[in-house]
Amino acid sequence: MSSSGILVEDVLHLITDDDQSKVVDAPITLGCGKNETGIFLSGFAPNGLLGLGTDDLSVPSILASKGLGPNSFSMCFGSDGIGRINFGDNGTSEQKETPFIVSHTYPTYNISITQINVGVNVSKMEFSAIFDSGTSVTHLTDPAYTFISKTFNSQVTEKRNLSNSQIPFEYCYDLSANQTSPMIPIMNLTMKGGEQYYLTNPTTEAFSSKGGYCLAILKSTDINIIGQNFMTGYRIVFNRDKMIIGWKPSNCYNDSNSNTFSISPSHSPAASPSSPSVSPATSPALAVSPQAKAPSSHSPKLKACTCTIMMIFVSFLAIV
């Protein structure tokens, strides 16, 4: 599969994430896909790309080069599909962290995983993976894929469904007649440096007539990708100056420094955050400013604050 197209210059209207809520107009470069092959022809074409990688044309790189903020940004992935992106966000002292390296071939964020826990089963294995918010579902190669999927399968009690060939996932299950939610084992990854990364959203709805769910991991033959579903429930910080990825539990609605939900090992149905009561339309942090004034030579710099965009996450919206 491949995609080619053109680059487009545009202006991103932002609002500072502080009490003053000042308008910042930032010239950026976007990608516009025109020629796709492979699975991109089946409805997954990346027609519009907001680049968040480490190359010079990515949005964070452009903002930092113009002195509009630190060379860092964060993305928050809510359980209801709503999220938040903050440019210039260096994170907080409470977040957990792991180092990343940048590939010489592609400008991606590569982290190392040293251990996988699925329920009571532990496997020490070290492998690298790309942290990519532009990929909806996590892709893993063996032996990580086989360990997680088979261990998960051995610990769940629901009946496995092998009849739906339209579902891309290998391990799917039907709920019983009186069952409303699955009981899944606690899953977490140990990152390089020793910090634990708990998975709050490792499953997805199976869309079967009986109701059910699937382990939302796809088997890969050549690359490991931590996708959006493994980032759900966290505010993920990409600090490109310190070369670290940080994470902190968040529901993406409340203030990131004071109001977060707690992720702790328990045998709750999905160990995921509850849906917030505030609707997206009334969120107080909406920062896209379609009626912003023309750029001014006195536009505020963002060294002590961040720019924020509220957005709905869809596949290939952002390539990280």
H or E stretch covering 37: strand 23-37
Distances (CA, A) of 235 to 75, 95, 114, 175: 6, 9, 22, 31
| pLDDT of 310 over the 90 cut | no
Q: Would you say the pTM of this structure is higher than 0.85?
A: no
Burial of 138-162, coded b for 16+ CB within 10 Å and e otherwise, reads: bbbbeebbebbbebbeebbebeebe
The pLDDT mean for the chain works out to: 78
| pLDDT of 199 over the 80 cut | yes
Please state, for a pLDDT cut of 90, what percent of the chain lies above it: 45
CB 91 within 8 A of CB 239: yes
Please state, for a pLDDT cut of 70, what percent of the chain lies above it: 73
CATH number at residue 287: 2.40.70.10
Residue 106: per-residue pLDDT: 77
User: What is the pLDDT averaged over residues 105-121?
Assistant: 93
Q: What is the pLDDT of residues 238-280, one digit of tens each?
A: 999 999 999 999 988 875 443 333 333 333 333 333 333 322 3
Confidence band of 41 (pLDDT split at 50, 70, 90): low
| pLDDT of 311 over the 50 cut | no
Those residues whose C-beta lies under 8 Å from the C-beta of residue 176, and which sit 6 or more positions away, are 158, 159
Note down the domain range covering 96. Answer: 2-319
Determine if residue 269 is left, alpha or beta; phi over 0 gives left, psi from -120 to 50 gives alpha, anything else beta: alpha
CB 196 within 8 A of CB 190: yes
Helix ranges, 92-183 (H)? 144-155
Total domains in the chain come to 1
| pLDDT of 216 over the 90 cut | yes
SS3 65: helix
